[in-house]
Structure 1
Amino acid sequence: MTFDPATYCPEHFLWSYRDGIATIRLDRPERKNPLTFASYAELRDTFRALVYVKDVKVVIFAPNEGNFSSGGDVHDIIGPLVRMNMTELMDFTRMTGDLVKAMRGCPQPIIAAVDGISAGAGAIIPMSADMRLGTPDAKTYFLFNRVGLAGCDMGACAILPRIIGQGRATELLMTGRGLGAEEGLNWGYFNMVVSKETLMEEANKLATQIAAGPTFANGMTKNQLNMEWDMSLDTAIEAEAQAQAICMQTKDFERAYNAFVNKEKPVFEGD
Structure 2
Amino acid sequence: MNYDYQTIKTEKLEKGILLVSLNRPEKYNAMNMTMLNELNDLWLKLKRDLETRVVILKGEGEKGFCAGMEVADIIKPQVMADIPAMYDLQMPIGELQINMRNCPQPIICAVHGAAAGAGFSFAIASDIRVISPDTRFSAAYVNVGLAGADMGSSYFLPRIIGSGRAYEFLYTGAWMNAEEAMQLGFASRCVEKEKLFDTALEIAQAIAKKDPLAMKLTKEAVNLNIDIGSLEAAIVMENRNQNMMISLLANRMKK
Select which of 209, 224, 239 maps to 1:241. Answer: 239
Contact 2:117 2:141 in 1 (8 A): yes
Counterpart amino acid of residue 192 in structure 2: S
Given the alignment, which residue of 215, 225, 229 partners 2:226?
229
Which ranges in structure 2 are unaligned for 5 or more consecutive residues?
none
Indicate conservation of the 8 Å contact 2:22/2:29, yes or no: yes
Aligned residue for 1:248, secondary structure, equals helix
Whether 1:16 and 2:8 are equivalent positions in the alignment is no
Whether 1:77 aligns to 2:74 is: yes
Provide the C-alpha distance between the structure 1 equivalents of 2:221 and 2:246, rounded to a whole number of angstroms. 16
Q: Matched residue of 2:105: which SS?
A: coil
The answer on 1:40 being equivalent to 2:46 is: no
Aligned to 2:145: 148
Query: TM-score, normalized by length of structure 2?
Result: 0.94
Return the alpha-carbon distance in structure 1 between the equivalents of residues 110 and 216 of structure 2.
20
Structure 2 CA distance, aligned partners of 1:145 and 1:254?
A: 54
Deviation at 1:254, TM superposition (A): 6.6
**2-structure distance, mates of 1:239, 1:206:** 26
> How far apart are residue 168 of structure 1 and its match?
0.7
- Secondary structure at the aligned position of 2:66 is classed as coil
- Paired letter, 1:94: M
Whole-Å separation in 2 of the counterparts to 1:171 and 1:95: 27
Secondary structure of the 1:149 match is coil
Give, as a single letter, the amino acid of the residue that structure 2 aligns with 1:21: I
SS in 2 for 1:112: strand
Q: Displacement, 1:230? A: 2.4
Which residue number in structure 2 is paired with residue 55 of structure 1?
51
The aligned residue for residue 26 of structure 2 is 30
Distance 2:212 2:11 in 1: 20
C-alpha change, 1:254 and 1:185, in structure 2 (3 Å) is: farther
**Amino acid of the structure 2 residue aligned with 1:51:** K
* Structure 1 stretches of at least 4 aligned residues deviating more than 3 Å after TM superposition: none
Once structures 1 and 2 are overlaid, which stretch shifts more, 213-222 or 224-233? 224-233
Matches within 5 A, 1:73-222: 73-222=70-219
State the SS of the aligned residue for 1:52. coil
**How many pairs align?**
251
CA-to-aligned-CA distance 1:92-136 (integer Å, 9 cap, x gap): 222111111111111100000000110001110011000000000
Distance 2:156 2:221 in 1: 15
Task: Give 1:59 shift.
Answer: 0.5
2:247 alignment partner AA: Q
Identity %: 35
Mean CA deviation greater in 76-85 or 53-62: 76-85
